[in-house]
Chains A and B, each alone.
Chain A
Amino acid sequence: MTAVLKPRTKRQAKEAAGPYGKVGDAVAELDERLGIAKGGRTFLDKIFPDHWSFMLGEIALYSFVILLITGIFLTLYFVPSQGLVKVPMNFPYKPLRGDTVSQAFMSTINMSFNVRCGLLMRQMHHWACDIFVGAIVVHMARVFFTGAFRKPRETNWLVGTTLLILAIANGFLGYSLPDDLVSGTGIRIADSIMLSVPVVGSYLSYFVFGGNFPGQVVIARFFIIHVLLVPLIILGLVGAHLALLVRQKHTQFPGKGRTERNVVGSPMFPVFIFKTQGFLFMTFGVTALLGAFAQINPIWQFGQYIPSNISYAVQPDWYMGFLDGLLRIFPAWEWNAWGHTIPFEVTFPAVIFPGIVFNVAMAWPILERKFFGGDNEIHHLLDRPRDVPKRTAFGVAFFALLATLFVASSTDVLANYFHVSLNTVLWTMRVLTILIPLIAYPVTYKICRELQGGGANMGKRKRPNDVVRTAEGEYVATQAPVRPGDVHHELDATPVPTFIAAAVVAEAEEVVESSDATTGARVVDR
């Protein structure tokens, strides 16, 4: 090391700073203390396979980011109290003036009418939640139908399913906070569902509400669970989800140069960062537009929750729909014996059924291995859904069941809209709930089998057939010649370069000489 003279001109300073300037210095300082250079470089080179379906999970992640940002804004104005106040006579929304409402309701309408950006943030928060749960479900469907949950990724499938349950639970808790007529009725139904649990139901209800429903504590309790407890767990699990993803690397679809031993796609830095950063802003932008133009949960129209009041034709948020649907169409089977009651008409649709749904989802990697012909091998290449007809058929039947139940959650609206009797709608939905999954399975299975064997032209655009009439009057079909754009030409994959500047190459000599031969050198074959 030679002594460094203090630079006198800007040019000298630039030369003294080395080819990478301040960034180089910072890397050196950090590396001396934390040893970040080697791992950091590997991280920047991490390959993200390119396929549109891989961004579904990103929508979930980014809507969670939006939930955190907008949620923090809302906590600054929300008062989680059921204490009563009077709506002031100068309140902008006239029908509520002078009403006695809870502080939770008052603070929510106050942030909607009197806080700048308040209503926008509230509506963005609600929309982001609906998008969050939706994106998780669609992302899970992608992981399911392509077999991405298979060994070694069962743990991450479990983490993901837990995240879905937490997202749904927190959605319900947040929906309950404003203490309006619709959400209050939702809490009342939740109370009745707790009561329906055999043996411990009444204790469950009393411990949640601090006594009889509605009590004075439930909003405060739901609040702290909604803004702290569940988000913290979600945050931790999202971290685990991503850490596992980095550790196990991405799955990829089969294709040119893609094997079980490599990952082909775009590097983390800068290509993926640019795309995903853009996608974060797009998700944020769509949520902002929804918040601006699509009204959601206008609680000032519903009014304060009063336990003896009720609204008509109200549906819960979409992810609760399948539970509401089954509650509507399930027969009124209540059993009473030896001084005890089992309200099975509630216990089954609202406790046992969701239990089955989420347990089947969680246990699917094991179930597939045992009953659907899955193997115990390590898989990094994804399946095309058609190539695994049993799994695909099961998944379609499963989603068809939930979708039918979702439709059943609006029996009254359907009856009104189509001018048919509620009884007809009820029985139609009962029959369809059983019939649709039973039909969906074999039909999907058959379609998968028919689609199989695409073979060499898989993933390529089909070329048209030319039908020619010969002189003898015979018709001959031949494939048309290849035209530009007919066949998607994919390049060979290459390792990620450093984008090293030409001027630095000479200096690299020094680096090469001092580098250890065992530092994981990678050379490109030419």
Chain B
Amino acid sequence: MSENLNDHGAADITTVSADAPQMQPLAKNPKGVEKAISALLLVGIAAFVGFGVCYWQNAAYWTYGALLGLGLLAMGAAFIAWGKYLLPRGPFVEERHALASTESERSAFAAALMERGAGEIKRRKVLGTLLGGSLGVFSIVALFPLVRSLGPLPGDKLAVTDWKKGQRLVDINGNPVHITDMAVGGVLTVYPQGLENTDDGQAIDQTILIRVQNEPFTTKKGRESWTPSGYVAYSKLCTHLGCPVGLYEQQLELLVCPCHQSMFNVRNGALPQFGPAPRPLPQLPLAADSEGFLIAAGGYNEPVGPGYWERP
């Protein structure tokens, strides 16, 4: 066919003989491939119909998911087989032209940039400076509403919690903890009374209460009176990344952070014994009030949670 066209001389159209080997399909038996592709497409149609029916009948989600997947795979395989086995096998070629322009085109472009733009600014130095100044001031001022409005300034809020002297320890349901409530080895997450359902109470004030033994003990020098009846309380925020230190290994008397496996010894002031945590968990001084409920004998004496720049 295209031989004729070639005889007419140069054409807009590249031609190649229809019986050139590149124009033949890759398949040795195109009829067979055609049958296989038809089968695939029929499977696809059937699967899509099945998808519709399953959806309509509100069947289990995996049934129509499977049919959708099957239909798409069959249709995809049909497309690929058609492209690979029935269309001309090639290979075909195209020229790659150099991207670069000529030297004179380049210098013309550079000259236009310089002489019309930068050159003009250079000639009028004062205007140029003022223009730069106004753009600079604008971009700084424009940043304020975009950034500063996002939130309040932290101030020293990261360093404080809501724990105060005399405040009762309550569980997540607001029940205060009586000194007789827990057995040795027991653990409970506690919050300052009234804050158990607030964001700050749960995210910052969360404290883990452990009954290590029946008698008071000393976790560290100066903390002799902090453990009434063997109860000890530490901030539940890991000093590594702020995950709740929620696991208690009773036999070894270790608090374990499930995120990155930092371990803190409850006997010696939660000194990190293993893992990436750099500091002990802050300890909350405890006491019992006149009715025998556990109270805080003071707030935390250092910021809880992970480290940050302003942390003293």
Give me the interface of A with B, judged by CB distance under 8 Å.
Answer: 45-47, 50, 116-120, 123-124, 152, 185, 188-189, 191-193, 195-203, 205-216, 247-249, 257, 260-267, 270-275, 277-289, 291-293, 306-314, 324, 327-334, 336, 339-343, 345-346, 380, 411-412, 422-423, 426, 490-498, 500-502, 505-506, 508-509, 511-512, 515, 517, 519, 521-524, 526
A307, B258: Cβ atoms closer than 8 Å: no
Residue of A nearest to B91 (CB): A493
Could you say which residues of chain B place their CB within 8 Å of the CB of A501? 1
B93, A277: Cβ atoms closer than 8 Å: no
Query: Is B11 interfacial (CB 8 A cutoff)?
Result: yes
From A117, A185, A215, A491, give the contact of B21 (CB < 8 A).
A491
Query: Is B259 interfacial (CB 8 A cutoff)?
Result: yes
Could you say which residues of chain A place their CB within 8 Å of the CB of B12? 511-512, 515, 519, 521
Docked complex Cα distance between A239 and B134 (Å): 34
A500, B278: Cβ atoms closer than 8 Å: no
Residue of B nearest to A291 (CB): B65
A278, B83: Cβ atoms closer than 8 Å: yes
Could you say which residues of chain B place their CB within 8 Å of the CB of A191? 242
User: What distance in Å separates the Cβ of B123 from its nearest Cβ neighbour in chain A?
Assistant: 33
Could you say which residues of chain B place their CB within 8 Å of the CB of A120? 61-62, 64-65, 68
A288, B4: Cβ atoms closer than 8 Å: no
From A262, A292, A313, give the contact of B95 (CB < 8 A).
A262
Known contacts A275-B83, A279-B80, A284-B76; decide if A192 and B305 are in contact (CB<8 Å).
yes
Known contacts A265-B90, A272-B83, A280-B76; decide if A208 and B66 are in contact (CB<8 Å).
no
User: What distance in Å separates the Cβ of B146 from its nearest Cβ neighbour in chain A?
Assistant: 10
B154, A205: Cβ atoms closer than 8 Å: yes
Query: Is B260 interfacial (CB 8 A cutoff)?
Result: yes
B87, A202: Cβ atoms closer than 8 Å: no
Can you report 5 A-B residue pairs in the complex whose CB atoms are below 8 A from each other? Answer: A189-B242, A272-B83, A285-B73, A307-B203, A493-B22
A189, B243: Cβ atoms closer than 8 Å: yes
User: What distance in Å separates the Cβ of A215 from its nearest Cβ neighbour in chain B?
Assistant: 7
B308, A285: Cβ atoms closer than 8 Å: no
Known contacts A188-B241, A275-B79; decide if A508 and B206 are in contact (CB<8 Å).
no
From A193, A197, A249, A263, give the contact of B241 (CB < 8 A).
A193
Residue of B nearest to A152 (CB): B99
Could you say which residues of chain B place their CB within 8 Å of the CB of A307? 199, 202-203, 206, 244
Docked complex Cα distance between A242 and B15 (Å): 29
Report how many A-B pairs have Cβ atoms within 8 Å: 362
Docked complex Cα distance between A373 and B11 (Å): 46
Docked complex Cα distance between A206 and B81 (Å): 56
Could you say which residues of chain B place their CB within 8 Å of the CB of A524? 6, 14-16
From B55, B76, B258, give the contact of A278 (CB < 8 A).
B76
Known contacts A196-B306, A277-B79; decide if A213 and B203 are in contact (CB<8 Å).
yes
Residue of A nearest to B86 (CB): A274
Docked complex Cα distance between A311 and B243 (Å): 10
A331, B276: Cβ atoms closer than 8 Å: yes
B278, A505: Cβ atoms closer than 8 Å: no
User: What distance in Å separates the Cβ of A224 from its nearest Cβ neighbour in chain B?
Assistant: 13
Query: Is B150 interfacial (CB 8 A cutoff)?
Result: yes
B92, A493: Cβ atoms closer than 8 Å: yes
A interface footprint on B1-24 (CB within 8 Å = 1, 0 otherwise): 110111011111111100011110
From B15, B79, B306, give the contact of A497 (CB < 8 A).
B15
Docked complex Cα distance between A263 and B236 (Å): 63
B1, A198: Cβ atoms closer than 8 Å: no
Docked complex Cα distance between A208 and B153 (Å): 11
Docked complex Cα distance between A333 and B275 (Å): 11
Docked complex Cα distance between A266 and B93 (Å): 8
A212, B200: Cβ atoms closer than 8 Å: yes
Residue of A nearest to B63 (CB): A292
A340, B309: Cβ atoms closer than 8 Å: yes
Query: Is B108 interfacial (CB 8 A cutoff)?
Result: no
Docked complex Cα distance between A6 and B282 (Å): 94
Docked complex Cα distance between A123 and B64 (Å): 13
Docked complex Cα distance between A192 and B241 (Å): 5
Could you say which residues of chain B place their CB within 8 Å of the CB of A509? 8
Docked complex Cα distance between A47 and B148 (Å): 51
Docked complex Cα distance between A148 and B164 (Å): 64
A interface footprint on B287-312 (CB within 8 Å = 1, 0 otherwise): 00000000000000000011111111
Query: Is B117 interfacial (CB 8 A cutoff)?
Result: no
Docked complex Cα distance between A203 and B84 (Å): 57
From A213, A289, A311, A490, give the contact of B66 (CB < 8 A).
A289
Extra contacts besides A497-B23, A523-B14 (15): CB < 8 Å = A120-B64, A189-B241, A202-B310, A206-B154, A248-B99, A271-B83, A274-B87, A283-B76, A286-B69, A292-B68, A293-B66, A494-B20, A494-B93, A500-B1, A508-B11
Residue of A nearest to B208 (CB): A308
Docked complex Cα distance between A330 and B240 (Å): 11
Could you say which residues of chain A place their CB within 8 Å of the CB of B243? 185, 188-189, 310
Smallest CB-CB A-B distances: 8 pairs: A292-B65, A278-B79, A274-B83, A281-B76, A343-B307, A285-B72, A288-B69, A334-B278
A497, B246: Cβ atoms closer than 8 Å: no
B61, A493: Cβ atoms closer than 8 Å: no
For window 138-179 of chain B, which residues contact chain A by CB distance below 8 Å?
Answer: 147-148, 150-154, 157-158, 172
From A202, A212, A272, A492, give the contact of B199 (CB < 8 A).
A212
User: What distance in Å separates the Cβ of A382 from its nearest Cβ neighbour in chain B?
Assistant: 14
Could you say which residues of chain A place their CB within 8 Å of the CB of B189? 308
Residue of B nearest to A48 (CB): B92
Docked complex Cα distance between A288 and B16 (Å): 42
Query: Is B58 interfacial (CB 8 A cutoff)?
Result: yes
Known contacts A292-B66, A495-B94, A505-B4; decide if A340 and B13 are in contact (CB<8 Å).
no
A495, B276: Cβ atoms closer than 8 Å: no
From B69, B75, B311, give the contact of A340 (CB < 8 A).
B311
From B79, B154, B258, B309, give the contact of A274 (CB < 8 A).
B79
Residue of A nearest to B62 (CB): A292
A308, B236: Cβ atoms closer than 8 Å: yes
- Among B15, B153, B243, B309, the most chain A Cβ lie within 10 Å of the Cβ of B309
User: What distance in Å separates the Cβ of A265 from its nearest Cβ neighbour in chain B?
Assistant: 6
A189, B90: Cβ atoms closer than 8 Å: no
Query: Is B216 interfacial (CB 8 A cutoff)?
Result: no
User: What distance in Å separates the Cβ of A449 from its nearest Cβ neighbour in chain B?
Assistant: 32
Residue of B nearest to A275 (CB): B83
Could you say which residues of chain A place their CB within 8 Å of the CB of B65? 120, 123-124, 288-289, 291-293
Query: Is B247 interfacial (CB 8 A cutoff)?
Result: yes
Known contacts A212-B204, A278-B83, A330-B276; decide if A292 and B309 are in contact (CB<8 Å).
no
Query: Is B267 interfacial (CB 8 A cutoff)?
Result: no
User: What distance in Å separates the Cβ of A87 from its nearest Cβ neighbour in chain B?
Assistant: 17
Could you say which residues of chain B place their CB within 8 Å of the CB of A248? 99
Docked complex Cα distance between A502 and B19 (Å): 13
Known contacts A188-B242, A340-B310, A498-B15; decide if A279 and B69 are in contact (CB<8 Å).
no
B278, A422: Cβ atoms closer than 8 Å: no
B158, A202: Cβ atoms closer than 8 Å: yes
Docked complex Cα distance between A313 and B1 (Å): 70
Could you say which residues of chain B place their CB within 8 Å of the CB of A498? 13-15
A496, B92: Cβ atoms closer than 8 Å: yes
From A185, A195, A207, give the contact of B308 (CB < 8 A).
A195
Docked complex Cα distance between A168 and B236 (Å): 30
Could you say which residues of chain A place their CB within 8 Å of the CB of B150? 206-208, 210
- Among B14, B152, B153, B275, the most chain A Cβ lie within 10 Å of the Cβ of B14
